[in-house]
Chain A
Amino acid sequence: MLLKAIFALVALGAIAGAIGMLVSTNPVHSALFLVWVLFCVAAIYLMLGAEFLAIIQIIVYAGAIMVLFLFIIMLLNLRRDEFGPDPMPNQWTWGLIFSSLLAIALVSATGAATALRFSGDPLTLISIPDLARLLFTKYLIAFELASVILLIAMVGVIVLAKRMKEGA
Chain B
Amino acid sequence: MVEAHEAMTWSVIKGSVEEWSSVLLVLAFPLAGFLINGLWGRRLPKKVVGFVACGAIAGAFIASLYQLVMNLALPPLQRSTQVIVYPWLEAGPVKIPFALLLDPFSIAMALTVSGVSFLIHVYSVGYMAHDEEFSRYFALLNLFVFFMLLLVLAGNLATMFIGWEGVGLCSFQLISFWFTRERAAEAGRKAFIVTRFGDFGFLVATLGLLAIFGTLDFGDIAIAIQTNEIVKPWWGGEVHTLDALNKPTIIGLTLGTLICLGLFMGAVGKSAQFPLYVWLPDAMEGPTPVSALIHAATMVTAGVYMVARLHFLFEQAPIALTVIAVIGAFTAAYAATMGCVENDIKRVLAYSTISQIGYMFLACGLGAYIAGFYHLITHAFFKALLFLCAGSVMHAMHDVLDIRRMGGLAKKMPTTALTFWIGGLALAGLIPSGLFSKDTILHAAEQQKALWILGLLTAVLTAFYTTRLGIKVFHGKPRDEQLYEHAHESPDIMTIPLIFLALGTLAVSVLWMPPFLAGHWTVLPQYLQPVFGEIHEPSAQEALSSTLWAIGAASLGLIVGLVVYVLKPGMLWGLARTLPWVYQLVAGKYFVDEIYAALFTRPGRRISELISAHFDLGVIDATVNGVGWLTAKIGSTARRMQTGFVRNYALFFVVASVLLLFYMLVRGVMMTR
Interface residues of A (CB under 8 A from B): 87-88, 91, 94-95, 98-99, 101-102, 105-106, 108-109, 112, 138, 141
Contacts and interface: CB of A to CB of B under 8 A. Distances in A.
Interface stretch (B250-258, B457-465, B594-602, B650-658): B650-658
Contact of B658 (A87, A88, A91, A102): A102
A81 to B, nearest CB: 19
Given A101-B658, A102-B657, A95 B665 contact: no
B86 A141 contact: yes
Contacts of B655: 98
Given A98-B654, A99-B654, A91 B661 contact: no
Nearest to B672: A112
Interface residues of B, number: 15
B449 interface: no
A17 B668 CA distance: 33
A88 B668 contact: no
A79 B657 CA distance: 34
B645 interface: yes
B668 A112 contact: yes
Contact of B661 (A87, A94, A106): A106
B661 A88 contact: no
Interface string B643-673: 0010110010011011001101100100000
B651 A105 contact: no
Nearest to B662: A105
B651 A91 contact: yes
B88 to A, nearest CB: 9
Nearest to A86: B647
A106 B665 CA distance: 9
Contacts of A91: 647-648, 651
18 contacts: A88-B645, A88-B647, A91-B647, A91-B648, A94-B651, A95-B651, A95-B654, A98-B651, A98-B654, A98-B655, A99-B654, A105-B661, A105-B662, A105-B665, A109-B661, A112-B668, A138-B87, A141-B86
Contacts of A88: 645, 647-648
B644 to A, nearest CB: 10
Contacts of B86: 141
Contacts of A98: 651, 654-655, 658
Nearest to A101: B658
Contacts of B647: 88, 91
Contacts of B661: 102, 105-106, 109
Nearest to A105: B661
A109 B665 CA distance: 7
A95 B647 CA distance: 9
Contacts of A138: 87
Interface string B8-51: 00000000000000000000000000000000000000000000
A102 B654 contact: yes
The list of the 5 closest CB pairs from A to B, nearest first, reads A105-B661, A101-B658, A98-B654, A102-B658, A105-B662
Nearest to A140: B86
- Of B654, B655, B657, B658, which is in contact with the most chain A CB atoms at under 10 Å from its CB? B658
A101 B662 CA distance: 9
Contacts of A141: 86
A112 B657 CA distance: 19
Contacts of B654: 95, 98-99, 102
Given A94-B651, A98-B654, 20 more contacts: A87-B645, A88-B645, A88-B647, A88-B648, A91-B647, A95-B654, A98-B651, A98-B655, A98-B658, A101-B658, A101-B662, A102-B654, A102-B657, A102-B658, A102-B661, A105-B658, A105-B665, A108-B665, A109-B664, A109-B668
A128 B651 CA distance: 41
A162 B641 CA distance: 34
A94 B87 CA distance: 44
B662 to A, nearest CB: 6
A48 B655 CA distance: 32
A87 B657 CA distance: 24
A68 B7 CA distance: 66
* Residue with the highest number of chain A CB atoms closer than 10 Å, among B87, B657, B664: B657
Contacts of A101: 658, 662
A141 B654 CA distance: 34
Nearest to B664: A109
Nearest to A103: B658
Contacts of B658: 98, 101-102, 105
A71 B588 CA distance: 87
Contacts of A109: 661, 664-665, 668
A117 B655 CA distance: 32
A79 B308 CA distance: 66
B210 to A, nearest CB: 21
Interface in B71-112: 86-87
A16 to B, nearest CB: 23
A94 B654 CA distance: 10
Contacts of B668: 109, 112
A66 to B, nearest CB: 22
Contacts of B665: 105, 108-109
Contacts of B648: 88, 91
Contacts of B651: 91, 94-95, 98
Nearest to A141: B86
Nearest to A111: B665
A138 to B, nearest CB: 8
A105 B661 CA distance: 6
A105 B117 CA distance: 58
